Amino acid sequence: MSSLELRKVVTHSEEVHREGGRAAEPPLNLHGVAAVITNPWAGPDFTEDLRPLILEVAPELGEILVPRLVDLAGGGEAIEAYGKASMVGTSGEVEHGSALIHTLRFGNVFRDAVGGTAYLSPTTGSATATPTWRRWGSPRGEERRRGSRGSQVTVESHVRLEGGGGRTPLVLVHGVGLDLEMWGAVLGRLSADRLVVRYDLLGHGGTPDPSGDRTIEDFVAQLLDLVDDLGIGPPDLAGLSLGGMVALAAAARHPEAFRRLALLNTVFDRTPAQVAAARDRLALTEAEGMAPVADLAIDRWFTADWQTANPDEASAVRERLLANDVDAYLKAYRVFVEGDPLMPEGATLVTAPTLAMTGELDPGSTPGMSRALAAALPAGQALVLPGLHHLPPIEAPDEFVGPLLHFLDEEQP
């Protein structure tokens, strides 16, 4: 017997001919579908784990709402944008509504109905656009963070899914101050025969910045909830810089969650002088904002000759850094500066075969760090890319992606 108790479904349509004092040409068609259901968690007792009923009820709710919405719109191809919301009665909690609609178990139904390769942005887009969004701070993630019922935080993570095929799915985690676009030059080869999942870290790109300080556990919870909600585990995982720190932290705390691990240009067991240099860059950003640190980063990451030969790529990285919300960037950079308190000793907890790869000329994530990281891991190997710096996926895509694919595809048919 289903745990979804449906009372009624309400549909609404309207045709708007003027909006904001102007004629709408063509008219704007708005459609809404609402379901009134019994809250499966309602009652006086606190439910520790919402996930079992999320898995059962959320897709059933999607199957009730989505076909009606598509019919009202005249087909999935006619839908250009969508939104979603929930209301909860006084016998429940706000997170009960969020748990049912802010999950890919619910969103997958919509994606399939519109025939898209990914999900629509909740605000703008088209049925073939690639942005996807999911909630960080799910009941499972909250349990990992040991938060209280009242501390539930709901944030939509910006995610993109590309490719497909028989190989193990690959999750990519970008560096601090950047976003999922940093993988663009290598995406074609990576997604040729596997699903590739890119997402924006908390406070980066299209993912909002939750209130409060940031910790490495926050980033780990975001990653694990994403993998869990997509149902792709255990995937391969590759992270660069802060993304590598997040990947290492997740694999150490949940070694069963990932098949293979690529730690790219990842700091490890830094000396006091190396940490002090990172703190100086943090202080510079706190005092003067993003502009000076963006200029410093570009010169650290790319040679002057490379910048001259690749002005568009260099400009795109600089503009991405400048576009960051300073407070959100500082939260993430403090995590990067202070590092994972579980490391370096915690590296021994990682069971997945791991590649530690960096550029020969990376001044921050040095070859020595990658070698030390590989030596500390039970199944680690190190690789140094000759002549490259901190962002090989952008600086030299072909030289970067070949070794990464060779590592990922070992022992695969």
- CATH of residue 199's domain is 3.40.50.1820
**Complete DSSP assignment for 336-389:** HHH--TTTTGGGGG--S-EEEEEETT-SSS-HHHHHHHHHHSTTEEEEEETT--
pLDDT given at position 116: 55
State whether 100 and 182 are in the same domain: no
Q: Is the pLDDT of residue 155 over 80?
A: no
State whether 199 and 78 are in the same domain: no
What is the number of structural domains in the chain? 2
State whether 190 and 308 are in the same domain: yes
d(CA 362, CA 371): 13
Tens-digit pLDDT profile for residues 166-207: 999 999 999 999 999 999 999 999 999 999 999 999 999 999
Element (H, E) at 136: strand 132-136
Residue 333 region, left (φ>0) first, then alpha (ψ -120 to 50), else beta?
A: alpha
Residue 144 within any structural domain of the chain: no
CATH number for the domain that contains residue 28: 3.30.1330.110
Residue 138 within any structural domain of the chain: no
Tens-digit pLDDT profile for residues 376-410: 999 999 999 999 999 999 999 999 999 999 999 98
257 DSSP assignment: G
State whether 116 and 169 are in the same domain: no
Q: Is the pLDDT of residue 309 over 60?
A: yes
Structural domain that includes position 312: 164-413
C-beta of residue 189 within 8 angstroms of C-beta of residue 215? no
State whether 293 and 367 are in the same domain: yes
Residue 154 within any structural domain of the chain: no
State whether 183 and 66 are in the same domain: no
State whether 260 and 346 are in the same domain: yes
Q: In what order do the strands lie in the sheet with 155-163?
A: 132-136, 155-163, 195-199, 170-173, 236-240, 261-264, 354-359, 380-385
